[in-house]
Structure 1
């Protein structure tokens, strides 16, 4: 049973709205994945609980308690230990007895299991319960917090000597973890971060999908419009969105599309390399910051001397990197980069406002001429208990270029609304389409719609 559903049943039982036998009957007949909202609807429809206002508030409290990781209360006839473990992860106490190659094998199997079920992150932290992020929800894999000795044992067992030394010196470590072929045919890669915190070691692992997906598989309904941006020989394409929205996956897919369909030299600068790209029709050179180069901007400067056709920048966040990228885009290279921004408007503001006032006119003119498009994406909770992609697409045309040049980014939304024939799509359009298709709830839509646009396009 999900923790949030456990909490909901506790609230109903504690307020004498459900009897002991009713709680036991519900628990024995519910699917283990039933969430609190579904449980509340079932209770209401069955007439067992008739106070809808109470149920609404209880659902909110149940979700909050589950998210905060509070220990589950006792329910009649039901263990609060959460031993059901619907994802079939191992008992973490078993790791205490393992050493050497046996320990490494079981830890690798742990990462493989995360990949198989579609978990995006794995957390192994001292003083906290081990957990995964599955469809953006935190799911606990055990009811007992890990002692530092066990968390440290699991997190450090796959490090080489140089990585161990760096972690001991810096108390922080970012690295890419690659695990070879398994009997199931998967190849597991993770973007890993280790750090020291007040209760001991903490390890966070971003799990990379086992195969490169197409734009359609990622959920882009406007995949062909995005592909048109890849036909340019120069200019800059930005892939943006908040942290954890899948930008790196989209970037890898765009590189794969270029690799399949063009005969070019593609240089990628990443931190770290998450998805390995084999050279096919193109030559793909991947460089990792910290291992193959000291920084994004130094790698960009070097790339300009390495006969590139396409330069891919894993993240643009400082003035020098942005300046070099825009210059490269203006001087005959196709540049694709990511930024942590929520929409096209904030992307351009972030990109342009890092420059001092004395450079504003020049950089605006350069960006107006070199920008090809901005792809903004978000992952929203879906009605089938997973996530769904919402996306915005800004395509540069004469109207957009004039807005950028004149510093009037507030007019971008109107330009996008009137530019749908060019393939443009606002985030509100995307969210409204998902709502009308039944992919997201009204509550999710309202939480993500921008008030500056009307709900109906």
Structure 2
């Protein structure tokens, strides 16, 4: 029995998508978290070819022996597996499941189609006749999403299309239950070639899709236990303004800074991108500067007004956030927007950019101002954390942490915690005393600062949201429960669950 058969079981079980054999390294599998070693043994070129030679048929063994032009199908456990050598590497061989059951005259599968194509057919658009009909089907659902004002469209095998309306998931009446060929076909019709290849290797991918005169959409495609799935978010075709978003004058003042770091934070789906869009729009209307945005994908499209705006998408216009941010320093920027501060190196470059006379906007998935500072510091090794605290104390100018709440009568509204960095806050950051930051925010409301709990309580007083919603969205729930009870609200059911 070929030795690689035991590794093929990982792919069959869904734990990996490919086996990778290379000279002078160990056997690796491609998993959702990246390349993972299968064994500690480092293979020589001869050993790697020997493993493949065990799988090759008589007609394919000469190519394996020569180590060039290797491409054949191997049958194991009633399935076919494509064994293929990459042409642009000294020796790199990939093994993956062949799901389209090709005939003798069709030995090739277009790169990136394996997970999206119908398993029992060679039709690239699943149950649809062609790309046009598949695209029409998904665009019809997206038009309905926009017509009803839904934030998201969920496509799942075994469910009809589902919309997120006012924070709730609602199944679209009259729509059929989706199967895997239908979901795959619709997504394949709108997915760029680059993302098809990315999905094939990583099992998820993000891209933007646009319907002219309707809207733009952010698309995330993934796999779950039933097949291919997607979440598609509506992105407004036009920009929003700070007035429409209800952003306070004190936060608006951050847009007039010439240097420093401004962070907009919150959980996924909290409206961070929309808030950033409004801040960029304000700069675009009031300053004459060069704005560079680095996003994944580009969501709001800005037209240059008083400013010159350069928008770059990761994976399309640049390889990564960190490479684009490093390059931005040579592109004469005044303001740089980083869609997500994902890793240590990106954060470090952002801090350096803010220190060298540029205004930098960025986002993090944190829920409060204090946790935002801690998250940044904790990204770095212990021996660098004191230095980072000093850099943050000098560069950080403001943190806006927000969450979306259900409004009474429908719709959603943002509650925002606002930290504006002054000398007292800088000292706390430098000394690592972030636990005291909420007290500073509380005692400086006259300067425009506000805790998340106070923002939520204000929405309750104004009859914008229910008291129960404020309690659910609060981070400091014990404090929130006490204040709501003092206002006459009974939260016994909710607090007992906590």
TM-score by length of 1: 0.74
State the alpha-carbon separation in 2 of the partners of residues 214 and 317 from structure 1. Answer: 27
Q: Match of 2:256, SS?
A: coil
Aligned to 2:233: 206
Shift in CA distance, 153/426, structure 1 to aligned 2, threshold 3 Å: same
CA deviations on 1:300-321 (whole Å, 9 max, x unpaired) are 1111111111110001121111
- Does 2:155 correspond to 1:124? yes
Shift in CA distance, 96/218, structure 1 to aligned 2, threshold 3 Å: farther
Shift in CA distance, 333/384, structure 1 to aligned 2, threshold 3 Å: same
Aligned to 1:431: 456
Do 1:127 and 1:200's aligned partners in 2 also have CA atoms closer than 8 Å? no
State the alpha-carbon separation in 1 of the partners of residues 322 and 380 from structure 2. Answer: 15
**Out of 149, 154, 179, which is 1:147 matched to?**
179
State the alpha-carbon separation in 2 of the partners of residues 452 and 348 from structure 1. Answer: 22
Question: What count of residue pairs does the alignment treat as equivalent?
Answer: 356
The runs of at least 4 consecutive aligned structure 1 residues that moved more than 6 Å come to 95-98
Residue 171 of structure 1: CA displacement? 3.5
Aligned to 2:301: 276
State the alpha-carbon separation in 1 of the partners of residues 162 and 354 from structure 2. Answer: 42
Aligned to 1:17: none
Residue 97 of structure 1: CA displacement? 6.9
Do 1:277 and 1:284's aligned partners in 2 also have CA atoms closer than 8 Å? yes
CA deviations on 1:1-27 (whole Å, 9 max, x unpaired) are xxxxxxxxxxxxxxxxxxxxxxxxxxx
State the alpha-carbon separation in 2 of the partners of residues 358 and 164 from structure 1. Answer: 41
User: Quick one: higher RCO (CA 8 Å, sep 6+), 1 or 2?
Assistant: 1
Do 2:195 and 2:206's aligned partners in 1 also have CA atoms closer than 8 Å? no
More helix by share: 1
Residue 109 of structure 1: CA displacement? 3.2
Residue 103 of structure 1: CA displacement? 4.1
More strand by share: 2
Residue 225 of structure 1: CA displacement? 1.2
Q: Specify every segment of 5 or more residues in structure 1 that has no aligned partner in the other structure, as ranges.
A: 1-94
Shift in CA distance, 280/147, structure 1 to aligned 2, threshold 3 Å: same
Q: Match of 2:190, SS?
A: coil
Aligned to 1:243: 268
Shift in CA distance, 368/109, structure 1 to aligned 2, threshold 3 Å: same
CA deviations on 1:163-190 (whole Å, 9 max, x unpaired) are 4444445433221112222xxxx3x111
Answer with 417-426 or 225-234: which moved more: 417-426
**Out of 142, 146, 168, which is 1:137 matched to?**
168
**Out of 337, 352, 365, which is 2:390 matched to?**
365
CA deviations on 1:167-225 (whole Å, 9 max, x unpaired) are 445433221112222xxxx3x111112223322211211110232222232243x2x11
Q: CA RMSD in A?
A: 2.1
Shift in CA distance, 168/408, structure 1 to aligned 2, threshold 3 Å: closer
State the alpha-carbon separation in 1 of the partners of residues 463 and 130 from structure 2. Answer: 50
Residue 106 of structure 1: CA displacement? 4.2
- Does 2:191 correspond to 1:159? yes
Residue 102 of structure 1: CA displacement? 4.4
Residue 422 of structure 1: CA displacement? 1.6
TM-score by length of 2: 0.68
Aligned to 2:407: 382
Q: Specify every segment of 5 or more residues in structure 2 that has no aligned partner in the other structure, as ranges.
A: 1-125, 488-498
State the alpha-carbon separation in 2 of the partners of residues 103 and 192 from structure 1. Answer: 16
